[in-house]
Every structure is written in C-alpha cells, then in structure tokens.
Amino acid sequence: MDVALGHGTRLEPVTDWIAREGRLEPELQRFVIKLMDRTVAAGIPVWRFYLGLQLLHPQLQAMGIVWRRDQAVQVQEIPRRQGIQYTSAYIGSPVQEIRERGGEVRYHLDTLTEQHHITLHEIKAEGGTDYFGLELRTSRGRLSPIITFATDRPEGFSDVDLADLRRLVDHTGAVVEMQVTRLVAGTVIQTYLGRETGRRILEGLVKRGDGDRINAVLWFSDLRDFTGLNERLPADELLDMLNMYFEAIGVALKKHGGEILKFIGDGVMAIFPIEDAMFLPDATSGAVDAAREALSAIEEINAGRVEAGRDAIRFGVGLHVGLVTFGNVGTEERLDFTVIGPAVNRCARLETMTKVLKEPVLASADFNRVCPRPMRSLGRHRLRGVPDPVEIFTTT
C-alpha cells in the first residue's frame, strides 16, 4: 500500500470533522475528547494524549490537558504554577526538550534507563509502550503548545502512525490556537477587571454607555494615612504593604461572594451582586463576614509587622445596599467598567466616617434593615454630599 495514500485515507474523517464541526466546539476539553475518539476510531492507536498550554495568568504559568483512552474521566486539567520551569517536573522532561530544542521527541518506553525523566517512567508504568511529542506551531512562537502522544500497543507506533499524528497536529493547530486565545483573553479580562465585569464585557457590553441597572451590596475600603505612608516609606515597602492589604481583602471577599471591581489607589471598591431580593440577607451577611475576616487577617499580619518595627496596616470599610448603574464610561477609545449612582457615593462616605467614629466597619440603615447579622446603631450623622443626616451602624 502507498504510505501517503494509506494514512491520508484513514485520517480524512478526522480532518473533515475538525474543519466542519470541531472548530465550532466552545470548550477545549470537549474538543480534545471528540478529537481523540475520532482519532482512535480511525485506527490510530493513541492511548494517551497531552496538550501543554502556556498561559498569561497571575498564578499559573501553564496548563496541561491529559486524555486517556482507558479512564472513566477521560480528560484532566493539570495546572502548572509560576516557576514550574525551575522544578524537577520540568527540568529534563520531554516537554522541556521540545520547547527548548525544537523538533520532535520519540522514546521507546521499553528501553528507558534511570537517566530518563520520571514522566516517561510513569507513562511506562501505567501501560505505555511508545511516546512521541512535538510542538504545535502557532503565531505565539516559543509560547506555542506542546502535544505528546503515547500508545499501549506492544509494537508501538508505526511510521504511518507517526505521519498521521504529524498531520493531525497540523490540522488541529488553528482550532487550538483559537481556544488558547479565548482562554488567555478570558483570564486577562478576569484578572484585571474581575469575574462579573469580565463576563459582561465578553458578552458584548463594550460600547461607551452600555450598562445595566442592578441591585448590589456595596463595599468600599480604604487604608489609613496612605498619604503619610507614601511620604515616609520606600516604594518597595509601600508596595509590599499594599499587596498584603489587598490580598487580605481579596481573599475575604471571594470567600463570601464578593468581587473587587477596582483598586482606586489604596481603596477597594467591591460588589456582591443580587439577582433577587430574596438573596439580600445572604449577600449582606457575606459582606459583614468578609469584613470581619479581612480585619482578622490584617491583625495577624500586623503582629509580625509591629514586631519587625514596621507600620501597622489599618483600614476602614463602608457597607451599603442599593441600585447602581453597572457599565462603561470613558472616551471612545479608552473605557472603564464601573458602578455609579447615589448608592456608590453613600458607601464611600460611610467608609470616610470610620475615621471620625473610630469604628473599622460602618453600614447604612438600608444595609442593617436587610442584614441578619446583629449590628449596633451609632446614631444619626451627616455624610458629605448627602442632604439629610443618616443613621449609621457598626458590627457588634
């Protein structure tokens, strides 16, 4: 049989599916499952498939997607944290070899020695007999994905199998690049704008003036004496303090359903979106719990800072609930997704009052009215820009 004709014929149903349907698959994991099912059905003896993706992510450097023919859960994601390139999981691995030297790698797993990477030994121990890997060339250059295949067939891959796998990788390149671009775009948007804001933008709210009116529990927090800290602390020490403060706030908010909308200097604006009034008690309780946890976390941090002779981190939190406009403002070419409205102003003014009333957490009467957590009234006070005095509450 003519080799070129042979492998071209059996791969044709797979490449046809990629061109017609596979490119429309919105989820990368599902694309991998369907692709590998069709590859095996075409007679190519793939037992294990690995797709290594380079990411743009604050915690993760890469993501591995592993498919196994003989497992109930066929696809698993393996996150690779920043710095993975300095660990034994990467150093000396076939993936490093492909990424740094280019070309292809091929290992007959029955001839491994102690010098071969542990990844190859693990694949052999699980039943693999032959291993083949190569770069999936894309416009990302050195950040292009790596693809590896393994078979459990005793005689390993044939020359025809390898030719088909090379062609398969070429045909999947455009689809995988599109999926990676979508993944990176989603990650970047969520990292810089937040989950809820990112979702709305990806759904099409991208024009100036686009926006929705939503009910939300609002949070505004601010560092104490930030101007003085700016004046007397070295830049690296100030950044370190800010990141400790932001981390404590962010962890507490995320745990209790809140989302940071933006950092405003040393301030944090966050929301707890409310789809229905019946969820107000949960959202307000979450805001109070998040404030308590953030204060507790900062208290622990301050114990170490004071012992080291550094300034303690102090901050206040304002809590309010109300209707806000959630949408785009800015110029035609440079937009900001934000929340505006009287409720936002009142929340910020409540935070300012924490300095006056010497309480770290203050809430409005509207917030207290729907919050199941016990709160204590501090009486009626004037908020700048609000015509009438308002009753202010604090946590007990």
Instruction: Clarify whether residues 169 and 215 are in a common domain.
Output: no
pLDDT of 91: 85
| One domain, residues 278 and 331 | yes
390, two tokens: 């308002």
Per the CB < 8 A criterion, the answer to whether 63 and 54 are in contact is no
Q: 216 and 331 in one domain? A: yes
- DSSP percent split of the chain into helix, strand, coil, nearest 5: 45, 25, 25
In this structure, the answer to whether residues 184 and 215 fall within a common structural domain is: no
Kindly state whether residues 214 and 165 are assigned to the same domain. no
Q: How confident is the model at residue 111, as a pLDDT?
A: 92
Task: Count other Cβ atoms within 10 Å, centred on residue 96.
Answer: 15
**CATH code at 103?**
3.30.450.40
Q: Of 192, 225, 247, at which residue does a domain stop?
A: 192
Q: What is the pLDDT, as a whole number, of residue 217?
A: 93
| Domain shared by 39 and 110, yes or no | yes
Q: Which of 167, 192, 217 is the last residue of a domain?
A: 192
Show the domain range for 125.
3-192
First to last CA, the chain: 83
CB atoms within 10 A of CB 196: 17
176 and 222 belong to one structural domain: no
Give residues with Cβ within 8 angstroms of 203, minimum separation 6.
Answer: none
Contact 350, 267 (CB under 8 A): no
Q: How far apart are CA 174 and CA 396, in angstroms?
A: 58
Into how many domains does the chain fold? 2
Residue 4: predicted pLDDT: 41
Same-domain pairing of 68 and 175: yes
| Structure confidence at residue 9 (pLDDT) | 84
Residue 361 shares a structural domain with residue 337: yes
With CA atoms as reference, report the closest residue to 61 among 53, 69, 70. 53
Whether residue 239 sits in one domain with residue 137 = no
Q: What is the pLDDT of residue 119?
A: 92
Query: Is 202 domain-assigned?
Result: no
Q: Is the residue at 293 inside a domain? A: yes
10-residue mean pLDDT profile of the chain (396 residues): values are: 52 93 87 94 95 64 80 71 71 85 90 92 95 82 80 96 94 81 64 60 58 83 88 89 92 92 88 83 95 95 90 94 79 71 92 94 96 95 90 92
CATH code, domain with 321: 3.30.70.1230
Cα distances (Å, whole numbers) of residue 358 to 52, 246, 281, 353: 53, 21, 26, 8
In angstroms, the CA 120 to CA 105 distance is 12
- Tally of CB atoms within 10 A around 57: 19
Check whether residue 169 and residue 272 sit in a common domain. no
Residues 23 and 51 in one domain: yes
Which pLDDT value is given to residue 262? 84
Q: For 265-299, b where at least 16 C-beta lie within 10 A, e where not — what string?
A: ebebbbbbbbeeeebbeebbbbbbbbbbbbbebbe
